[in-house]
Amino acid sequence: MKILIDIGHPGHVHLFKNFAWEMQKKGHEILFTCRDKEFEIYLLEKYGFQYKSFGKKYKKLIGKLFGLLNFDMQMIATALQFKPDIFLSHGSMYAAHASAVVRKPHISFEDTFNMEQVKLYSPFTEAILVNNFKNPPLNSKNVRTYSGYHELAYLHPHQFTPNRDIFSLLNIEDNEPYVIIRFVSWDASHDAGQGGLTLEYKEKIINTLSKQIKLFISSEGELPKALEPYQIKIPAEKMHDALAFATLFIGEGATMASECAMLGTPSIYVNTLDPLTIKEQEAYGLVFDYRNANGVLEKALELLNQKDLKEEFQAKKEKLLADKIDVTAFTIWFVENYPKSLKITKEDPDYQLRFK
């Protein structure tokens, strides 16, 4: 089987990497496609995947409109050359449109629910895979639910074991407490009109917390000069090790906040965007969800002064994992058994037991 996987974000590389490795072991051929946005290409090369980049991603509205046509045409040309049997993505309109042209199925994961984007790809998508939320925002004949999160495709205990070498990479003592802070660039399509921490409040957090604990900043955009000394300097593929052993995470990015929940690291999420994944993880007590900066610093100080903090959150993580599945194992089964899997996931509510 030939499988074309389109990547729109570094997190999507992680979403599909274990699937791709396992499918390659089974003799299937994988081709990744991407745009040059952040460090997707670095990760694809680091993990040894065959890929094709369509160039820089456009940031302004007029550029995005041109990019839709440009990237669509490049994707169609790539598909005609590669001849995939199936397309796989996280909400990629380019993969969806190309799949319709070459008449091959497109399977998409979805968790951001940017409805404008969903409208652009869903008519050309045979299966949209979403978490089984109590009130899912998508409800159509091609939606299939599963009990998991994208982050469990690469952070489920079957797929990931944190490496303690991260302490030496961070140049700190083994088991030394530290906090990771994440700032986003706000130029993603689902970030339009959204916001998080002001620069003034970012500096306030850094100035206050740095007096009592080691801090590392991960930022999509360029940091102000005053914050540059705190920038984390580790290989991108080591970030999950850093999150796993962190004492606390504070950030504007939902992906990293959710990753921390999967790893049992206390997480403070600050963003006007309120994803269903974060809301559900908040119900497990793993994420503290804020629309703005009010109360964020106070919560951070409260958590850092709490005894047995990590032990408590590891126990909460185990409760979450007991309710969820290995998403990579599910994806392999769904793709290898497509289209039969489309029928099973609709008619058999117990199909997920095999992926526990």
Q: What is the pLDDT of residues 280-329, one digit of tens each?
A: 999 999 999 999 999 999 999 999 999 999 999 999 999 999 999 999 99
Tokens standing for residue 104: 């091959």
Distance CA 1, CA 30 (A): 9
Instruction: Identify the three-state secondary structure at position 61.
Output: helix
Task: Please give the structure tokens belonging to residue 200.
Answer: 């003034």
* Pick from 315, 199, 333: nearest CA to 264: 315
Q: Residues 209-249: pLDDT tens digits?
A: 999 999 999 998 888 898 999 999 999 999 999 999 999 99
Q: Which helix (H) or strand (E) holds 107?
A: strand 106-109
Q: Does domain 166-322 have CATH number 3.40.50.2000?
A: yes
CA–CA gap between residue 266 and residue 263 (Å, rounded): 9
pTM for the predicted model, two decimal places: 0.91
Sheet containing strand 86-90, strands side by side: 51-56, 29-36, 2-7, 86-90, 106-109, 127-131, 143-146
| CB-based contacts of 290, cutoff 8 Å, min separation 6 | 268, 269, 270, 271, 296, 299
The packing angle between helices 340-347 and 327-336, to 10°, is 130
State the amino acid at position 276 in one-letter form.
L
pLDDT string in tens for the chain (356-residue length)? 999 999 998 889 999 999 999 999 999 999 999 998 778 999 999 999 999 999 887 665 565 666 678 999 999 999 999 999 999 999 999 999 999 999 999 999 999 888 888 888 999 999 999 999 887 777 778 999 999 999 999 999 999 999 999 999 999 999 999 999 999 864 444 444 444 688 899 999 999 999 999 999 999 888 889 899 999 999 999 999 999 999 999 999 899 999 999 999 999 999 988 889 999 999 999 999 999 999 999 999 999 999 999 999 999 999 999 999 999 999 999 999 999 999 999 999 899 988 98
For the chain, domain boundaries: 2-156+325-355, 166-322
Cis amide leading into 339 (omega within 30): yes
Of 96, 101, 44, the residue nearest 68 (C-alpha): 96
- Stated length of the chain: 356
Return the CATH class of domain 2-156+325-355.
alpha beta
Give the C-alpha distances (Å, rounded to integers) separating 43 from 2, 34, 40, 50, 169: 21, 11, 5, 11, 18
Q: How far apart are CA 79 and CA 94, in angstroms?
A: 11
Q: Which two tokens stand for residue 120?
A: 């652009």
